[in-house]
Amino acid sequence: MTDAAPHRRLLDIRRIYVEPEAAALPRGRAVLDRFPDAERVEVESHSRIPELYGDETNVARWVRIKTEALVLGVKRSLTARPNGRSADFIAPSTANGCAMACAYCYVPRRKGYSNPVTVFANIDRITGYLGRHVGRQGVKAEPNQCDPTAWVYDIGENSDCSLDARISDNVRDLVTLFRDLPTAKATFATKHVNRDLLDWDPRGRTRVRFSLMPARDAKLLDIRTSPVAERMAAIDDFVAAGYEVHVNLSPVVVRDGWLDDWAELLDQLDDALGARAKAQLAAEVIFLTHNDRLHEVNLGWHPKAEELLWRPELQQPKRSQTGGWNVRYRTGRKGEYVAALTDLIAAKAPYCRVRYAF
C-alpha cells in the first residue's frame, strides 16, 4: 500500500477501537502499525461501542467520525449468502462502514449514529472459508446474469474495497485468492479510484464495478468520493491491468431533467472508453431505495440531500426486515422510469449490456 498522507482528507485516523483478539492477529498488528499515533481504545465487541453507535449527538459529527475513527475487530460468523443479482454469493465481509459519506448508503441504517470503517483482522479464516466454499460449488453448470461460467462472489457488500485497501491488505488478499480459483470471480462496487490496485495482477478473476451517476446528483449525494469523471477515466486502465470492469448506474434519482442528465453521462462514458473496455462492458441499473431511519440521520448532517432522496409524492413505503420503512418509486411509474433509462442506454451505448435493472 502507498503512504496514507495524500488521502488524509478521507482517513486521518486518530482513534482505533480494537478488540484484543484482533490486535493479537498479524493483520491486526499491521493495521495498528500503520497508524502508530492513533489512540487505542480496547472494546469488547466491534459492534457494541456506545460512544460510536448509540449516541445520537454523533450525527452532527458524521463526517469527522468517518475521518478520524477506525474499528478493528474479528468477524465471528462466516457465511456466503446466495444473491443472484450482482453476484451468485455475498462473501463474508472483511470490512464494513466507509470513510466516504454517500447520502443514500444503506449501511448506516444498521449502525446507528455513525459509520466509520471496521476492519476484520481474521483474514486468513475468511479466505480459507471462501476457498472451501468455492470448491464445494464445483463447475458452474449453466450461465446466469451474474456470469456465464464463474461463480461470482461480492466481496464488498458493506464497504468500499478500493478505500479499504488503503487501510489493510485484506482486499489484496482476496484478489490474490480469486486469481487462482478457476471457477470463481470476486466483485465489488466502488466510488473511489485507488490506482494501487493496478499492480495486483488479477488475471480477469476480479470484476470492479465503478458506480456512476450524473455530476449534478453526485455533487450533492456522493460526498467525499472520487469525481465521476475520474472513475470513468480509470476504466481503461483497470481493464488493461487485468480486471473485468462493469459499471453500476446507481442510484438513479428521479427529478426534473433526470433523463437528460443521464444522456449526458452516457455520452461522457462513451468518450472515456476505448474499444477494449467497451467490448467487455456491462451495467447494473439500480433506482433509489431510501429509508426512514437514514432520512432522519441525514436531516441531522446533510438535509439538502433529502430534497432529492425523500420524495413522498413519487415514492411508496414498504416495511423493512429490520422494522423500519423503505421507500421506492411507485409501482407502475417506476416501470416507466426503468424502461426510459434502459432504452436510452441501448441508444447511447449499444455495446453496454444491461445485466439487470430495477
Q: Which helix (H) or strand (E) holds 220?
A: helix 215-221
Provide the 10 A C-beta neighbour count for residue 247: 23
pLDDT at 238: 99
Q: How many domains does the chain have?
A: 1
**pLDDT one-digit tens code per residue, 147-156:** 999 999 999 9
pLDDT at 340: 98
Burial class (CB in 10 A: 0-12, 13-18, 19+), 329: buried
pLDDT at 245: 99
Question: 177: domain range?
Answer: 5-357
> Percent of the chain having pLDDT more than 90?
88
Cell 459529527 belongs to 61
What gap in Å lies between CA 231 and CA 160, rounded to an integer? 14
pLDDT at 110: 64
pLDDT at 3: 42
What gap in Å lies between CA 192 and CA 211, rounded to an integer? 9
**pLDDT one-digit tens code per residue, 260-303:** 999 999 999 999 999 999 999 999 999 999 999 899 989 999 99
What gap in Å lies between CA 314 and CA 333, rounded to an integer? 8
pLDDT at 323: 74
pLDDT at 219: 97
Cell 493496478 belongs to 198
Task: Specify whether the CB–CB gap between 283 and 354 falls below 8 A.
Answer: yes
pLDDT at 242: 98
Is 73 in a helix, a strand, or coil?
strand
Residue numbers in the chain where pLDDT is lower than 70: 1-6, 108-112, 322
pLDDT at 311: 97
pLDDT at 109: 62
pLDDT at 4: 46
| CATH number of the domain where residue 314 is located | 3.80.30.30
Report how far Cα 144 is from the mean position of its chain's Cα atoms: 22
